[in-house]
Amino acid sequence: MKWADYPAPHSQVATQIVDDEAVIVLADAGEIIVLDPVGTRVWELSDGSHTVQQIVDVIGDEFEVTRDQARADVAEFLETLAREKIIVFEESAT
């Protein structure tokens, strides 16, 4: 993952926002994941049109955390989503 990459949902993932929480369905694995409000906001921004750095900036502003904390938390979360094949990283906006 690079800070200039554009995270986007994997093609085998379906999602719905319910009561401010993202419900993610992994079609291949038959799993359902529910995200907390911060995870949901990161998910909403992981639409292929925002860079990782832009997502960090938004999370820092909206949740009033330091840039260093936002950067560490967003990076860890996105890397976990990528490892689980929930998102992919694109080099340009989609």
pLDDT in tens, 41-86: 999 999 999 999 999 999 999 999 999 999 999 999 999 999 999 9
Rounded to 5 degrees, what angle do the CA atoms 92, 32, 37 make? 65
Sheet with 31-34, strands from edge to edge, namely: 13-18, 21-26, 31-34
Write out pLDDT tens, residues 7-40. Answer: 999 998 999 999 989 999 998 888 999 999 999 9
Contacts of 94 (CB under 8 A, 6+ apart): 6, 8, 48, 49
What was the pLDDT predicted at 34? 96
CA dihedral 91, 82, 9, 18 (to 10 degrees): -140
Structure tokens of 10?
């994997």
**Domains along the chain with CATH numbers:** 6-86 (3.90.930)
